[in-house]
Amino acid sequence: SEQSSMAARVFKIASIPGDGIGVDITDAAVQVLQKLSSTFGTFSFEFNTLDWSSENYRQRGFYAPQGGVEGLKQYDAIYFGAVGWPDVPDHISLWQMILPIRTTLNQYANVRPTRIIPGTLSPLSACAANPSLLDWVIVRENSEGEYSGHGGTTPSTAHAAHTVATEVSIFTRVGIERIVRFAFETALHRPRKKLTMVTKSNAQRHGMVLWDAIFYEVAKEYEGRVEFDKMLVDAMTVRMVNRPESLDTIVATNLHADILSDLAAALSGSIGIAPSSNLDPTRQFPSMFEPIHGSAPDIAGLGIANPIGAFWSAAEMVRWLAGSDGNSNIVGLVSGPGVGNMVHAADCLMKAIENVTQAGIKTRDLGGASTTKEVTDAVCIEIGQ
Amino acid sequence: SEQSSMAARVFKIASIPGDGIGVDITDAAVQVLQKLSSTFGTFSFEFNTLDWSSENYRQRGFYAPQGGVEGLKQYDAIYFGAVGWPDVPDHISLWQMILPIRTTLNQYANVRPTRIIPGTLSPLSACAANPSLLDWVIVRENSEGEYSGHGGTTPSTAHAAHTVATEVSIFTRVGIERIVRFAFETALHRPRKKLTMVTKSNAQRHGMVLWDAIFYEVAKEYEGRVEFDKMLVDAMTVRMVNRPESLDTIVATNLHADILSDLAAALSGSIGIAPSSNLDPTRQFPSMFEPIHGSAPDIAGLGIANPIGAFWSAAEMVRWLAGSDGNSNIVGLVSGPGVGNMVHAADCLMKAIENVTQAGIKTRDLGGASTTKEVTDAVCIEIGQ
Ligand SMILES: CC(C)[C@H](C(=O)O)[C@@H](O)C(=O)O
Ligand SMILES: CC(C)[C@H](C(=O)O)[C@@H](O)C(=O)O
C-alpha cells in the first residue's frame, strides 16, 4: 500500500499536563492521539512529558525550570492541560507558565472555534432548537495588549492609604496588524467569509482607537472578499446571545477575546468542549494546544472531567502539524491531506468525537453519566472504525 | 388630608436627552415622572433640558459648553438619555459628555439591577421556564480603572511602522475600597445577602491583585453578615449563563462591569429594559440616571424605542431622591416612604411597568408591536390607578 511505502513522519510533542484535571485530560488526549497515529500509520508522536505543575512549585519553587520555556523550541508542538491550584496565587502560576510560553514562542494568534456539537445542548433556547445558528471562530490577540504585564503598585504594600496600582496595556502596530490580517485570512477560508472586529474604542481612546484605525486599513485589502463589521465589546455580548447566526469569525484583544471565548463556550453547551490553539503563524517556533477550561480543583482526580475540549485541541494540533511542510500558516487552509494524511486524521478525530457525544457517551457537564475513561475509550473505538 | 397639609418637595432635574432614541425615551420618562408627581402630589420635578447632543457638536463644536458639567452641580439629579452618533467618533462624544459627568460629579458607584420582569422572555431556556432564577445587582466602579483615560499613542500618527499605543488603568486604594464597601452594603440590604467580586487577577498582576487584597480586607467587616466569593471575569460569564441563581450582588471594575452588565441585560430579555444609576454615595453632588442602552441610530425617530429601561431608571432616580433627607446613601436602604412618600412612588412606577409588560403592551425588542407612546400612555394610566 501507499502507506507502507512511506516512512511515518514523527512529531516531537512536549506535553505539559499541569494541575488538576489537566492531568486527566492530557492522559486522555495522548491516548487518543496515539490511537490516531496507529490507525493512520503515516505519522506518529513522540511525547515528552514535562512536570511543570503547582506541585513542582511547592516542592522546588518553580513551575518551569531555568531555560525551560526556551527549551520548548526543540519540539514540533506543545500540548498543554491546565494550570492553577488554590494554594498558589493565580498570577504567579500563570506568569511563570502559560503566559511566558505564549509570548516567548511568538504564539500571537489564539484561535478558538465554537460550535454546538451533536449530542450537546445550548443553554439558549434558539440554539437548542437550531444548533447550526452558532458557528464561530474567535481569533484572540495573544501576545500583548492587556496581558503585557506592565504596571505596578506604589507603595508596594497594599496597606497604605494612598496606594495606587496601574495596569498598562501595550498595543503595537505590528501586533495589531498581524492579528487582524490573520483574522481576515481565517475568515476568508471559512464558508461565510465574515469578520467582526471587537474593541472598546469609545471608552479607551488610545490603543483601542489605534486598533480600529489599523483594522480598517487592513480591511481595504479584503474589500469584496470578506464582509466585515465592528462591535463594542459590551454590545458584542448582547449580539452573541441574541443573534448568534449573524457572527462568523471574530477578532479581539487579548482580554476581550478571553472573556468572549468563555462566553462563547458557555453558550455552545459546555466550557468542557472548547479548544484553543496558540499559534505562531510564522512557524518559527512550536505552537501550543490546550482546552480552554481550567484545572477545576473541585473535580480533580475524580475521573469525571470532560476530555472533549482536550480531544478537539488535539485535533487542531494534528491539523496544524498537517501544514508543517509549509503549505499553510492559517488554520483550515490545508484542504488536501497535508503531511502524512493528517488533515484526514484530524477530520476523523472530530467525527469520532461527534459520534460519541451523539451516542450519549458524555460526562456530567454535558448531562451524561460517563467517566473520562469511558468517553476516551469510546472515541478510540470510533477512530479505529 | 396629610398630603394637602404639606408643601410638595420640588426637585430640580437636569435632563440631557442626547442623541437618537435618547430623545424619545427621555420624553417618555419625563411624561411618566410628571404623572407620578401629579398622582402623589407630595413631590414634583422641575426639568431643565440641556441640548448636549451630537447635533450641537456638529453645529458648535462641543457637546457640553464650557463650564457645563460643573453647572450640573446645582441640580438635585440628572436624567440622561443616550449619546453617540455615527458621524462623530465615539471616543469624542463620550469623553466630552458622559465620562466627564461621571467623574466630575464623583459618581463612583454605577448600580445596574437586572431581573426578568413579567411579560418578558429570557433567551436562556432555564430562565424562560423560571424567571426568578435571575435576580442580580451589578455594582460597577465608575470613576477610575480602565476608564482613567491615561495613555497615548507614539508617534501620534497611526501610520508609522513602529506606532505604539498604551491604555493605562489606574486603581487607587480609595477607589477600590469605597466601591467594595458600597457593594457590601448593597448586598447586605438585599434578601439573599450575597456578593461576588470579579477581577482578572491571574493575568493582570498589579491593579487586579490590589483589588483582590482590598476586597478581602473589607470583607472581614462583613464576615457572617454577607456571603461572598470571587470570580475571574471570563469564568463569570459562564456562571451567569449556567448558574444565574447562584449570583446576587456583583462588584467589578469599570470595564468588566460594563461588559457583564450588557450580558446581564441580554440574558434577562432585552437591553431595552435595563436601568443604570450613576451615584455619588456621599450625596455631595447630584447623581445621574440613564438606561444602559445606547442611541440606536437604526431605530431613532421611528417612535418604537423601548422606554422601559428609561422608566426603570426614572424609578431608581425617585428612589434615590427619596433618601435626600440623608437617611440613605445605599440603593434600596430607604425602606419607609422617604422624602414625600417617594419610595412608595418608585414602587408604584415599577408595578405600573410590570403590569403593562405583563399585559403585552410591549415594543418589538420584547416581541410586542406597541410604540413608545403606547407603552408610555399605558404606564401613565397604570400609575393613575
Ligand atoms: C489561565 C488564564 C491566564 C488564561 C487567560 O486568561 O488567557 C485562560 O483564561 C485562557 O483563556 O486561556
Ligand atoms: C457609552 C459608553 C461609554 C458606556 C460605558 O462604557 O460606560 C456605556 O456602554 C455604558 O455601559 O454606560
User: Is residue B134 over pLDDT 50?
Assistant: yes
Q: Which of B158, B208, B263 sits opposite A237 (nearest CB)?
A: B263
Neighbours of B224 (CB within 10 A): 5
CA angle at B363 for the pair B361 and B97, rounded to the nearest 5°: 130
Share of chain A above pLDDT 70, in %: 95
DSSP assignment letter at B149: E
Beta carbons of B174 and A152 less than 8 Å apart: no
- The pLDDT tens digits for B59-113 are 999 999 999 999 999 999 999 999 999 999 888 888 888 999 999 999 999 999 9
Query: Would you call B222 a catalytic residue per the annotation?
Result: no
Task: Determine the 3-state secondary structure of B170 from DSSP.
Answer: strand
Nearest to A78 by CA among A104, A57, A58: A104
Q: Does B126 touch chain A (CB under 8 A)?
A: yes
- The pLDDT tens digits for B354-366 are 999 999 999 999 9
Put simply, the chain A residues between 46 and 105 with a CB less than 8 A from any chain B CB are: 84, 89-91, 93-95, 99
Nearest to A24 by CA among A385, A384, A380, A374: A374
State the average pLDDT for chain B: 94
Question: Which range, of A62-66, B63-67, B94-98, B371-375, averages the lowest pLDDT?
Answer: B94-98
**pLDDT bracket for residue B334 (50, 70, 90):** low
Provide the pairing of β-strand B164-172 with A164-172.
antiparallel
**pLDDT bracket for residue A191 (50, 70, 90):** very high
A-B contacts (CB, under 8 Å): 225
Interval between CA A157 and ligand 1 midpoint (Å): 26
How crowded is the C-beta side of A87, counted as CA atoms within 13 Å?
9
**Residue linked to cell 511568538:** A106
Question: Cell numbers at residue B144, please?
Answer: 477610575
Distance, in Å, from the CA atom of A289 to the CA atom of A177, rounded to the nearest integer, reads 23
Containing H/E element for A168? Answer: strand A164-172
Neighbours of A194 (CB within 10 A): 17
Site to substitute for ligand 1 among A80, A93, A94, most atoms within 8 A of C-beta: A94
Measured between alpha carbons, how far is residue B46 from residues B13, B35, B311 in Å?
6, 13, 17
Q: What is the pLDDT of residue B259?
A: 98
- Contact criterion met (CB below 8 Å) for A120 and A270: yes
Give the domain ranges of chain B: 1-116+271-385, 122-268
Distance, in Å, from the CA atom of A266 to the CA atom of A60, rounded to the nearest integer, reads 36
Q: What is the pLDDT of residue A94?
A: 86
**Residue linked to cell 491539523:** A319
**pLDDT bracket for residue B325 (50, 70, 90):** confident
Distance, in Å, from the CA atom of B267 to the CA atom of B303, rounded to the nearest integer, reads 25
How crowded is the C-beta side of B342, counted as CA atoms within 13 Å?
27
User: Is residue A5 over pLDDT 50?
Assistant: no
- Average pLDDT, stretch A168-173? 97
B145-154, strands of its sheet edge to edge: A145-154, A164-172, B164-172, B145-154
Q: Does B336 touch chain A (CB under 8 A)?
A: no
CATH code linked to domain A1-119+271-385: 3.40.718.10
- The pLDDT tens digits for B1-59 are 444 446 789 999 999 999 999 999 999 999 999 999 999 999 999 999 999 999 999 99
- The pLDDT tens digits for A210-250 are 999 999 999 999 999 999 999 999 999 999 999 999 999 99
Q: What is the pLDDT of residue A333?
A: 62
Q: Is A89 exposed, middle or buried (0-12, 13-18, 19+ CB in 10 A)?
A: middle
Put simply, the chain B residues between 179 and 218 with a CB less than 8 A from any chain A CB are: 200-210, 213-214, 217
For A214, name the nearest residue in chain B, comparing CA atoms only. Answer: B158
Q: Which residues of A touch B163 (CB under 8 A)?
A: 172-173, 210
Residues with CB under 6 Å of ligand 2 are A 202-203, 234; B 94, 98, 258, 292
Q: What is the pLDDT of residue B193?
A: 97
Q: What is the pLDDT of residue A91?
A: 85
Site to substitute for ligand 2 among B21, B98, B112, B143, most atoms within 8 A of C-beta: B98
Q: What is the pLDDT of residue B1?
A: 40
Q: What is the pLDDT of residue B339?
A: 84
CA B361 to chain centre: 24
Provide the pairing of β-strand B164-172 with B145-154.
antiparallel
Task: Give the residues across from A199 on adjacent strands.
Answer: A232
Question: Cell numbers at residue A157, please?
Answer: 504594600
CA A184 to chain centre: 18
Question: Cell numbers at residue B340, please?
Answer: 414625600
3-state helix, strand, coil in chain A (%, to 5): 45, 20, 35
Check whether domain B1-116+271-385 has CATH 3.40.718.10, yes or no: yes
**pLDDT bracket for residue A158 (50, 70, 90):** low
Share of chain A above pLDDT 90, in %: 86
Q: What is the pLDDT of residue B89?
A: 87
Task: Determine the 3-state secondary structure of A169 from DSSP.
Answer: strand
**Residue linked to cell 514540533:** A76
Distance, in Å, from the CA atom of A155 to the CA atom of A163, rounded to the nearest integer, reads 6
Put simply, the chain A residues between 257 and 316 with a CB less than 8 A from any chain B CB are: 258-259, 261-263, 265-267, 271, 294
Distance, in Å, from the CA atom of B376 to the CA atom of B31, rounded to the nearest integer, reads 8
Question: Cell numbers at residue B100, please?
Answer: 466627564
Question: Which range, of A90-99, A126-135, B290-299, averages the lowest pLDDT?
Answer: A90-99
Provide the pairing of β-strand B287-291 with B77-82.
parallel
Distance, in Å, from the CA atom of A342 to the CA atom of A94, rounded to the nearest integer, reads 32
Containing H/E element for A206? Answer: none
Amino acid found at A11: F
Ligand 1 atom at minimal distance to the Cα of residue A276:
12
Amino acid found at A270: S
Q: Which residues of B touch A84 (CB under 8 A)?
A: 202
Task: Determine the 3-state secondary structure of B248 from DSSP.
Answer: coil
State the average pLDDT for chain A: 93
Distance, in Å, from the CA atom of A360 to the CA atom of A369, rounded to the nearest integer, reads 9
Nearest to B294 by CA among B147, B94, B32, B68: B94
For B269, name the nearest residue in chain A, comparing CA atoms only. Answer: A242
Neighbours of B154 (CB within 10 A): 12
Q: What is the pLDDT of residue B156?
A: 82
- The pLDDT tens digits for B156-191 are 876 788 999 999 999 999 999 999 999 999 999 999
- Contact criterion met (CB below 8 Å) for B214 and B177: yes
Q: What is the pLDDT of residue B91?
A: 85
Q: What is the pLDDT of residue B327?
A: 64
Q: Which fold has domain B122-268?
A: Isopropylmalate Dehydrogenase (3.40.718)
Task: Determine the 3-state secondary structure of A77 from DSSP.
Answer: strand
- Average pLDDT, stretch B371-380? 98
User: Is residue A2 over pLDDT 50?
Assistant: no
- The pLDDT tens digits for A87-123 are 998 888 888 889 999 999 999 999 999 999 999 999 9
Task: Determine the 3-state secondary structure of B71 from DSSP.
Answer: helix
- The pLDDT tens digits for A312-355 are 999 999 999 998 876 666 665 666 677 889 999 999 999 999 99
Provide the pairing of β-strand A194-199 with A227-232.
parallel
Question: Which range, of B54-68, B103-117, B225-239, B320-334, averages the lowest pLDDT?
Answer: B320-334
- Contact criterion met (CB below 8 Å) for B122 and B239: no
One fold for A1-119+271-385 and A122-268: yes
User: Is residue B332 over pLDDT 50?
Assistant: yes
Provide the pairing of β-strand A194-199 with A249-252.
parallel
**pLDDT bracket for residue A3 (50, 70, 90):** very low
Distance, in Å, from the CA atom of B7 to the CA atom of B109, rounded to the nearest integer, reads 32
